[in-house]
Amino acid sequence: LRPTGPSWAELSEDLERMAVLRAIVPGLFSPSRDALRLFGDDTPETVRVVFWRDSAVWCPYCMKVQLFLEESNISYRVEWVNMQSYGDKRPEFLRISPAGFLPVCEIDGEVVRDSDRILKVLKRLGLARQGYDIMPDTGSLLLGEAEAAIDLVYQLQGSWMSWLRSPVSDAAGRAAVESRLDAVEDVLARRPEGPFVLGKFSIVECHLAGILERVAASSAYFKGFFVRSTPSDRSAGQRWPMIQQWFSALEARPAFRSLCGDFFTHSHDLPPQLGTCAPNGKGAACAEYIDGLPGCGAWLLPLPAEDPFETLPLPLGLVEQDDGAAASE
């Protein structure tokens, strides 16, 4: 068989280009490799936050905190810990978090557990760099809007997980998820200048990003239900156009692109975390394609320009950076 993929020489050139791109665009970092993130004039000695997160980058709550750190330009050091679903905890982590739950932050030496509390402490201490504060101030009207939207995220998460794990009442489960997505669409439509919930990127996106991308992946794979418009199902784009714009805007941000997953990853990382995911039979063709099973036409070179089931993000070009650009090592 004649190979149709790139040659080793071409792959080597691509790697060299990526090295140059990382130097030009410091926001392009590897969350599974970079252990120190420095913004502005910060040095390793001045870092005030140690961030403990899952080593496989599966945890949406860890993603919430790391997205907040990135978008707020808060320098931090990363410590990696296994989730209970795939490994043992490091003894030094269990000393500061005996229950073993992630994420955890050490902020100025204080151990802070629970993702929501971590964000509140980071806000209270004013660690965001000037011009990068993405959490509305206490007492502001925007804070009320943000809190209502975050509550909606938790409602969406509850409806989605109930449907995902249930082998019965499929129509009712789907209707509940659709209702929550309709509510998200309505919230986004209140600010037509968008594309985000409060108009510009905020703490709401930190909550919503990890959940909605997992809803999109797992619902397609296990239920044949599409949150995003694809060549195989255009109805999502017609029903939830603001959500489509929200995803596109989110995928243009280097921090999210560095932390997000894909349909294959989330479809396979959720079952060991949740215990079970219940297919309804309607997602079989999508699941076979994502898994690259023989005869489905997937995983063949050259790859198609458009995936029939998963909306792939556009290539992330050179993003303009300012003095808030981050360094990593």
| Percent above pLDDT 70 for the chain | 88
> Does the pLDDT of residue 92 top 70, yes or no?
yes
If you write DSSP's letter for every residue of 169-182 in order, what string do you get?
Answer: -HHHHHHHHHHHHH
Q: What is the mean pLDDT of residues 90-98?
A: 95
Question: Between these two residues, 327 and 203, which has the higher pLDDT value?
Answer: 203
Half-sphere exposure of 201 (CA within 13 A, CB side): 20
What's the rounded mean pLDDT across residues 282-309? Answer: 90
Cα separation, 180 vs 305, in Å, equals: 32
pLDDT top residue among 317 and 165 = 165
- Backbone φ and ψ for 150, nearest 5 degrees, come out as -65, -40
∠ CA 294-163-196 to the nearest 5 degrees?
90
Q: How confident is the model at residue 233 (pLDDT cuts 50, 70, 90)?
A: confident
Interval 36-48 mean pLDDT: 93
Distance, in Å, from the CA atom of 235 to the CA atom of 218, rounded to the nearest integer, reads 18
Using the predicted structure, report yes or no on whether residue 315 has a pLDDT greater than 80.
no
Q: Indicate whether 108 pLDDT > 80.
A: yes
> What is residue 236's predicted lDDT score, i.e. its pLDDT?
85
> In the sheet that 36-39 helps form, which strands lie side by side, from edge to edge?
110-113, 104-107, 49-54, 76-81, 36-39, 326-328
In tens, the pLDDT along 26-39 reads: 455 565 567 899 99
Taking alpha carbons only, the member of 113, 111, 92 closest to residue 103 is 113
Least trusted range by pLDDT, from 171-175, 192-196, 205-209, 225-229: 192-196
Question: Is the separation of the CB atoms in 246 and 269 below 8 Å?
Answer: no
- Tell me: the pLDDT tens digits for 252-267? 998 999 899 999 999 9
Predicted local distance difference test score (pLDDT) of residue 21: 53
Q: Which of 15-24, 225-234, 251-260 has the lowest mean pLDDT?
A: 15-24
CA gap 61, 209 in Å, rounded: 10
Name the pTM for this structure. Answer: 0.86
Better pLDDT: 306 or 249? 249
Residue 85 has pLDDT above 50, yes or no: yes
Per-residue model confidence (pLDDT) at position 323: 39
The yes-or-no verdict on residue 283 having pLDDT over 60 is: yes
Q: How far apart are CA 283 and CA 311, in angstroms?
A: 16
Residue 2 has pLDDT above 60, yes or no: no
Label residue 319 by pLDDT band (50, 70, 90): very low
- Banded model confidence at residue 19, pLDDT cuts 50, 70, 90: low
